[in-house]
A and B are shown apart, each in its own frame.
Chain A
C-alpha cells in the first residue's frame, strides 16, 4: 500500500471537513489505525479544521450557561422534609413575668435573625451577580487568548509578506509609477511598483476612495495604447497588493468595475492614471 499516495489524494482533508459518507469515513479510520503516517497526516488535518472552526468562535449569551448546565447536572435529590420541631415543655411552675421575659428575649432574637438574614441575602445577591460577571469575563478572556494565539500566527505571516514586499521595493529594478487622480477624482492617488526584471507588479491603493458595494478597482497596463488587465483590488485590501505580472506598459490606470472585473476598462469610471518615463 502506497500510503503517500493515499495521503496526497485529499481524502483525509475531505474527512476532516466532513465531506465523506459513513462508509468512506470508516475506511479512512481503518487506514489511520493501520498506518501511523496516515494517522499523523489525518490528525494534522483535523487540528487545522479545529482552528478554522475557532475562527468563527462567538461566546453565547452568558445567561445560557446556567440554563444549559442545569440540564446537564443530575437532578438534585429532594431535600428531606424537616421533622416537626418537638414542642417545648414548659414547667408549670414558671412564673408569668419570666415567661414574659423569655417572650421578649425570643422576639429580640427573631428580629436580629431577620436582619442578619436580610443582610446575608443582599450579600448573596451582590456576590452572585459579581460572580456571574467574573465568570463571563473569564469566558471571554479564555476565548480571546485562543484567538490571540491564532492572530499572532497571522501577524507572523503578514510580517513575512511585508519583508518580501520590502525586498521588492528596495530592488533597483523596481520602477515606481505615480498614478494621479483624473479631473473627476482629483484627490485619488495610487502608486504602482513594477519590477522590470521579474515583471511583478504591486500596487498601493491606500489613497483611492473606498470602493462602493458591488464594485472593485481594477488595474490596467496600457501597452501600445491597448489596455491589458493587471488584476483586481479586493475591497478589504488597504496595503500593498500584488497584481498580475505585466510584460509591457507605457502607462497604468485604475478604473472602478463591477465586482469580478471587466474585460475592457470602463473609461468613465477611471480614477487614476500615470505614465512612466521608463528606464
Chain B
C-alpha cells in the first residue's frame, strides 16, 4: 500500500468526497474481510462485521489522526476489534472453543475462486514462520489475547511471549521487504 495514495485518500475522505468512500471500500474491503473472516470463521457473520466496520470507519473518520498511525492499520484495528467482540459475545463462546484455530480459513481459501493462486504462495510464506512463534502472533491478532493471556494459554513465561513475538515479526518483515 503506498503511502502517498493513502494520504490522498485521507484528504479526500476529510472533504466528505463520496467517491473516496467507494475507493476506500474497493481498496481495503478484501484485506479487512479476510482478517474478519479469519477471526469469526463464518462468511455470513464476516459480512455483517465488514458492514459494521465500514460504518464505524466512516463515522469515526473525523477522529482518525494520521500522526498517530497509518490509515490501513487504523482500519484493521477497527475491524479486528469488532470481529473479536463478536466472537466474545455469548453465542460464539461455545462453538469457538471447540474449533481448531487454523483449519477453517485455510480450507476456505482453497475452495474460494478469485485470487486462489496467490493464497497458496502466501500461505506457504507464512507457513515458514516457526509454529511456536506464529501461534503467539495469531492468538493476539486473531483471537484478541493480551500477552499475559497468551502466556497463560500456552503455559509459557511472559518473557518468552515477548521474545517469540519479536522473532516472528522480525522474520515476517524480512520476507516482506
Query: Chain A residues in contact with chain B, CB under 8 A?
Result: 8-11, 13-14, 16-21, 29, 43-61, 64-65, 67-69, 71-73, 135, 138-140, 142-144, 146-148, 150-151, 153-154, 157, 234, 236
Contact B26 A138 (CB under 8 A): yes
How distant is the Cα of A142 from the Cα of B31 in the complex, in angstroms? Answer: 11
Q: Which residue of A lies closest to B144 (CB)?
A: A18
Contact B34 A56 (CB under 8 A): yes
Interface of B is mostly: helix
Q: Separation in Å of the B115 CB from the closest CB of chain A?
A: 5
How distant is the Cα of A135 from the Cα of B22 in the complex, in angstroms? Answer: 11
Contact B21 A69 (CB under 8 A): yes
Q: Separation in Å of the B132 CB from the closest CB of chain A?
A: 13
Counting chain A CB atoms within 10 Å of each CB, the highest count among B55, B58, B165 belongs to B165
Counting chain B CB atoms within 10 Å of each CB, the highest count among A16, A54, A65 belongs to A54
- Given A58-B33, A60-B29, A153-B176, CB of A10 within 8 Å of CB of B50: no
Q: When the two chains form the complex, which single residue of B69, B112, B165 contacts A58, counting CB atoms closer than 8 Å? A: B112
- Given A17-B169, A44-B173, A59-B30, CB of A147 within 8 Å of CB of B118: yes
Q: Write out, one digit per residue, whether chain B residues 136-177 have a CB within 8 A of any chain A CB (1) or not (0).
A: 110011001111001000000000011101101100111111
Q: Which residue of A lies closest to B147 (CB)?
A: A19
Q: Which residue of B lies closest to A7 (CB)?
A: B166
How distant is the Cα of A13 from the Cα of B18 in the complex, in angstroms? Answer: 36
Counting chain A CB atoms within 10 Å of each CB, the highest count among B27, B51, B122, B177 belongs to B122
- Given A53-B34, A72-B55, CB of A29 within 8 Å of CB of B121: no
How distant is the Cα of A19 from the Cα of B80 in the complex, in angstroms? Answer: 12
Residues on B with beta carbons closer than 8 Å to the beta carbon of A16? 169
Residues on A with beta carbons closer than 8 Å to the beta carbon of B122? 55, 147, 150-151, 154
Judge if B76 is at the interface, Cβ distance under 8 Å.
yes
Q: Separation in Å of the B49 CB from the closest CB of chain A?
A: 11
Interface residues of B in 29-47 (CB under 8 A from A): 29-31, 33-35, 37-38, 46-47
How distant is the Cα of A60 from the Cα of B54 in the complex, in angstroms? Answer: 13
How distant is the Cα of A42 from the Cα of B18 in the complex, in angstroms? Answer: 32
Judge if B94 is at the interface, Cβ distance under 8 Å.
no
Q: Separation in Å of the B111 CB from the closest CB of chain A?
A: 11
